[in-house]
Structures are given as C-alpha cells and as structure tokens.
Structure 1
C-alpha cells in the first residue's frame, strides 16, 4: 500500500476520479494492451482520502459496479496525502488515479480531467446546501436570514481556497469579503446587528467547507455574533444539526455525496437550499494520461 504523506490542503469543488484517456478505433487491440499496461503500472489502485468521506463511499460503489475494476483497490488515507501523491506523480509524469472533486485548487494548479463515468456511480453535477436546526428562525432571525441569503459561485470558493495555501483561512476569507463587499451587502441588507449572540456552525474538515465556513463566520461576526466553527465527519454534521447541538451547516453535498445522511435526518432539520451549484465528484487523472473513461481500465488478472 502506498504510504500517504501529509501536506497543507489548497482549492476547487467536484468529487471524481481523474485519469487520462486512451485512443480507440482500428487500434483497439493495441489500446487494450496499452490500458492493460496502464492498469498494471497503477498496480490496480486508486488513491483515496479519509475513510467515511462521501467521495470514498461513491468510489467503493464504483469498484463494485464496474466489472472491469475487478481486483482493484481503493487506498484509504487523507486528503493531504492524496494531494501529495498526486503532485509527486505529476512531477514525474507518472500515472495516478485519485478520488477528486471540484471546486478544488488542484484543478487550478494542475492539468487534470475526470474519467467518464458511463454507469453514473458518482452522480452528476451536485449542489452544496445550507441546513439549519429547527427553531433557529425563531431564536436567531438575523442569522437565519443571512444564512438563507448566502449564495456564491465555485470561482468564489476556489479563490478563498487558493489564497489559503499561503495564508490562513481566516485571512483568506476576510480578504475575499473585502473584495466582494457587494455580495456580502446583499446577504446582510436590512438586518440589525446583535450583541454577542452565540451561534455554532458545523462543517466537514475539507478546504471547500473551510472556505464557506470561514467566510460565513467572518460575516456573522461583523453582525455582532460570537461564532464557533466546528469541523466534524459528515454523519456527525447532519446529526448535530438534526438534534440541535449545532445551529447550521453550509457543507452538505447533494443529492448524491451526502444523500444517505440527508435522508436519515431531513425531517429533523430545515433545508434552506443551495448555496453553491456546479460541484462534482469522480475519478480524476492528470491530462497527460491516455485514458478517458473508467471503462478503459482493465481488471486485475
């Protein structure tokens, strides 16, 4: 098993396995040999992230659904470790397949592509939603309105993630707010400030959610709230909002990635809808790899 190394995590928003594509046509036999050689060179492994992440559940399901992935292994590790392995492979122009998503800074830093997913096991385009506990509208109407109005674009999230490679997420979020005050004014227009009211935002521990979480934390603090931002696993995130221990989250990926957690808790919380559209998850590879689809991979002999 590959030993995954730790690095600081940078920017972008869709999950997927990224890989390069193969030619086809009359050279099908040669291509079959090439993809067999590629699969062997990859040691029939896909480099994943933290166990329990929605992306890993989808990747495991993909291994089960594609007959040509018989014998393949999904390596558990960390997002930081996956990014280290990806960067080292690209530096040496070596083959690698990783579980990936966008928005994420890796797409800005490297030439990457998603492998086609004919069976749709990773789902299609996803949204990131805002959920809040029941009773928040009555208890904190000012915060509720801001959370309900919050919406930004993948490019906004990526900008925070990318800058956070060089500065803290707190500083990157504040810089984004200064540069996008018009958007923030739309979220806070007509809302009176409070005096130290405590609110807890729960999130998942990835750079996408660090970006939205720190931006909202800074916006709410400007409005006089005392904000706690707590990173937890996805299942705990949904449970904490559903049972009222956490007040809100900007982190659910729907309808597929966190769909099972959402279905279990949706009756016990309030869904305020999308705060970002255009996210994606899948298998990702460097663009120099001569492969285009998950189906191009060969089973382990």
Structure 2
C-alpha cells in the first residue's frame, strides 16, 4: 500500500495553508471598469490598476516565480509590479474566483495543468523570452538505485507519457473529487498498453521499499501517484513524500529518497539541477512539451506582457 510521509509533508502544509489567501486582488471597482482606458499606444484595456499591479504566483522557490520576477525587471510594462508568492493551490483558488466573476488576473502558469482543461486561458506573449521555450519534465533517481533496485530503476527509466494523459488525471482529481490514488488507479486501468511498455523487462518483487518525492503541484501529484501505483502493482512498498522544491532535490541527491518524476527543466528547476546534478542520475524526460509563463483568461483583451501597464 502507499505510505504518506506526514512528517515531511508538514514542511509544506503550513506554508500552503498560511498563504492560501495571498494572491492578486481584484480591486473595488465595479464590474466592467477594467475596460475603461487604454494601455499606452497598444489600444488594450487597462486592467493593471484593477489587479493592483500584482502577478499571482505559487511557491517562492519555483522557477516560474523567479522568471516572473525577472519579467518585472525586464519589461517596462511591468515597472512597479509585484509577484505575490503563495502556493499552487492558492493560485488556483484566486484564478477560479476571478474567472467565475470575469475579473482580470495574471497568474504564473504552466502546462500541463488542469486549469487549461477547465478554463479558457492563454499565455501572454513573451517577446523578451524571459520564460524560455518548451520545458521537459524529467525523472531523477539517487545514485546506486540501479544496483539496489534494478526493477524499479527500469520502470522509472521507461516511464513516459503525454500532456493529455497527465491532464486527465489532474482533472479527475480537481473536478470529480477523486483522490489522487483513485484517479491514478483509474488511469492505469484504462492505459494498460502504456503501462506494459513501462514495466517491460522488469520482474515483480515482494515488498521492496521505495520512496518517491514530489513538489506539491497538481501535475506532480498526478504523475507521482500514477508511477507509484504501477510500482505498487509490481510488488513495491511505495512511500510518496511531498516536499518543497529545494528539499525534493536535496533528498534524492543525498540518497535519502530514491527518486522523483517531477524535475522541470531547463527553467523551472534549473538552479536546483545545477546545485545537485553531480549527485543524482538523470533518466531523461518523462514528458515533453511542457511550458511556463504568465497566463490570463481569454476574456481579457491583452495578448502580450507588453500590453500591460506600469504602476504610476
């Protein structure tokens, strides 16, 4: 059965709960007031003041937050703006509330994420390429795993899926109220061909303990539970532990944890990778075509970061 490491989960729970109300204020102006006035010469509505010149972010250690902070420095249109850090859950709550009320909001976003299946959203164009190009989500394991647990190593090495696969699991959790374990089980049962490719050549074991770590994002909850369920089916006693970005990388690099399928590169976890790349084993991408950037609802008449307006 799955085991959840509650002691280490507590490292992130307090932060997420205490900051759940953080994010972007919608202002006190009446609905529709955001359409009054233009943003300089672009002709785009001036939403910026209504948003209190705030980008709603996630955890402070995330690469997308660091990139958003760099964007504030790089773009004249974001002069005087702030990036409000909280958690991925708090960001999603702020986005949901704004979307339901058709209020303007800018969030730090990434793909895959269930919000793109639930809401009509778009990335703001990034002409200065502060957020970089496409990302990969990679699998990292501790040194010595191949020798200690060759069957687990093989499964983790062969694990790969697509954006649509991950978003199905995320959406079942967020929309249908399924637990991560149940959503993962349902996906595995419906995708036996992919699971067979992951487990090809790997023998079953009898209760061998393995620990996977992940950052507490919807995408990584989905992927870790799916691969965790597959490992469980192969006879492993799986523990899954949620950590902040830094401790997640440190635990695998130090050998305290066995692996993770949650490494966003080259941008999101770039600094953590540089710090620990010599102390872990890179098994390559388990998902390609990921992306990070600033995201807004499609009902907002802005298409580029440069369409926003600096604080006065």
TM-score clears 0.5 = yes
Aligned residue number for residue 307 of structure 2? 296
Alpha-carbon separation, structure 1, partners of 2:40 and 2:77: 16
Aligned counterpart for 2:223 among listed residues 202, 206, 212: 212
Stretch deviating more after TM superposition (285-294 or 234-243): 234-243
Q: Provide Cα deviations, 1:57-111, integer angstroms capped at 9, x if missing partner.
A: 1111111111221111111222222222212212221111111111111111111
Aligned residue number for residue 160 of structure 1? 169
SS at 1:252 equivalent: strand
Aligned residue number for residue 256 of structure 1? 267
The two structures have a TM-score, normalised by structure 1, of 0.88
Equivalent positions of 1:81-96 (< 5 A) are 81-96=90-105
Q: Gaps (5+ residues) in structure 2?
A: 1-18, 23-34
Aligned residue number for residue 111 of structure 1? 120
Alpha-carbon separation, structure 1, partners of 2:277 and 2:85: 29
Aligned residue number for residue 298 of structure 2? 287
- Pairwise CA distance, 1:190: 2.8
Alpha-carbon separation, structure 2, partners of 1:29 and 1:51: 31
The answer as to whether partners of 1:99 and 1:284 remain within 8 angstroms in 2 is yes
Stretch deviating more after TM superposition (234-243 or 79-88): 79-88
SS at 2:122 equivalent: strand
Stretch deviating more after TM superposition (75-84 or 262-271): 75-84
Aligned residue number for residue 9 of structure 1? none
Aligned residue number for residue 243 of structure 2? 232
Equivalent positions of 1:1-301 (< 5 A) are 4-5=20-21, 31-32=42-43, 34-35=44-45, 37-165=46-174, 166-301=177-312
Alpha-carbon separation, structure 1, partners of 2:258 and 2:225: 15
How many residue pairs get matched? 278
- Pairwise CA distance, 1:237: 1.3
The two structures have a TM-score, normalised by structure 2, of 0.85
Q: Provide Cα deviations, 1:178-209, integer angstroms capped at 9, x if missing partner.
A: 00011111111232111111111111111100
C-alpha RMSD over aligned residues: 1.8
